[in-house]
Amino acid sequence: MAIGVFDSGVGGLSVHRALVERFPSADLIYLADQAHAPYGGLPGERVVELTRRGCERLFEAGADLVVLGCNTASAIALRRLQQTWLPGFQHARGRPANVLGIIVPTIEAATGLPWTPDPKRLPEKAEALEVLGIFSTAGTARSRVYEIEIDKRRGDIAVFTEPCPELVPLIEGGADRLVLAPIIQGHVEALTRRIGRAPDKAVLGCTHYEIVADLFAAALPPGVQLIHQPRSTADSLERYLTAHPEYDPGSSGQRLFLTTGAPGPQNGIVEAFWGAPLRFDAA
């Protein structure tokens, strides 16, 4: 079997790369739904439908386990799919199949607590308030998932989310870093103004932003710790695979890159991030 990684576009490559580093011999299939990207501004129902179709395509291509390498899909679609479509799909398939998101591992990293569905809230301690900044798509920001889930667990972490709606189309379109840098700077400044000071920690809560993580790091004041979502996702998947030996990640190191959009080479900033030429095939 293989592990599938799904995103609206190239952002999930940041998660994919962390999985390749962690599981070098695993078989991995990447699917970018570039025909419908960006997801960040789409109505929720549409994100649910597109995410379901993406998962189906990855299962069809040989994956048994799909990681949503997309915050927007994880925030808006995952719970719905787990409650509605997935149980019937698993039953009809007759062999293990599951879909995992990237928000739970990120919240575990941000809170320092293992995930439980009914957490006991650590009480507010005004003198020890930590400020966490999240940069995300408009869809993830609207869901308020990070604010809600972190507040259930840690009363002493204040979460502020900054939507950056123009970034995904620019990164998908291969915009010049000189264009991206001042936009990112503007979002860092907007978040800092809203908080009244710089955050203590930050999450690039849209996987596309990892592709230009150095521009975020340069725009944030020194000392702001970036929580690395792809690494947290790899940590979490490692624990999941240990606890669920029914999922075999494969051992031939196969890599398949599929897109619902135009097949072919990826743009310059993506290849610079990837460190090698990268071509997507038709899904």
Q: Which amino acid is at 91?
A: H
State which residue, 37 or 58, has the beta carbon closest to ligand DGL.
37
The minimum distance between CB 14 and ligand DGL, in angstroms, equals: 9
Which of the residues 2, 29, 145, 206 is marked catalytic? 206
The minimum distance between CB 99 and ligand DGL, in angstroms, equals: 15
State which residue, 101 or 250, has the beta carbon closest to ligand DGL.
101
Evaluate the CA torsion angle 46, 48, 51, 56 in order and state its sign: negative
Give the interface with ligand DGL as residue ranges (CB under 6 A). 7-9, 11, 37-40, 70-72, 137, 140, 168, 206-208
State which residue, 170 or 188, has the beta carbon closest to ligand DGL.
170
The minimum distance between CB 50 and ligand DGL, in angstroms, equals: 10
Token pair of 203 as six digits:
């999450």
Q: Verify whether residue 70 is a known catalytic residue.
A: yes
Which of the residues 2, 5, 67, 70 is marked catalytic? 70
State the alpha helices, DSSP H only, in 112-267.
138-143, 145-153, 167-172, 177-195, 213-219, 229-243
Cis peptide bond upstream of 249, omega within 30: no
Phi, psi of 68 (to 5 degrees): -80, 105
State which residue, 13 or 224, has the beta carbon closest to ligand DGL.
13
Q: How far apart are CA 205 and CA 142, in angstroms?
A: 13
Q: How far apart are CA 283 and CA 281, in angstroms?
A: 6
Determine contact, residues 98/69, Cβ cutoff 8 Å. no
Q: Verify whether residue 55 is a known catalytic residue.
A: no
Determine contact, residues 226/216, Cβ cutoff 8 Å. yes
The minimum distance between CB 38 and ligand DGL, in angstroms, equals: 3
- Residue with the two structure tokens 């809230």: 121
State which residue, 1 or 213, has the beta carbon closest to ligand DGL.
213
For residue 46, give Cα distances in angstroms to 37, 39, 50, 103: 11, 9, 6, 20
The minimum distance between CB 94 and ligand DGL, in angstroms, equals: 32
Q: Where in the sequence numbering do the catalytic residues fall? A: 70, 206
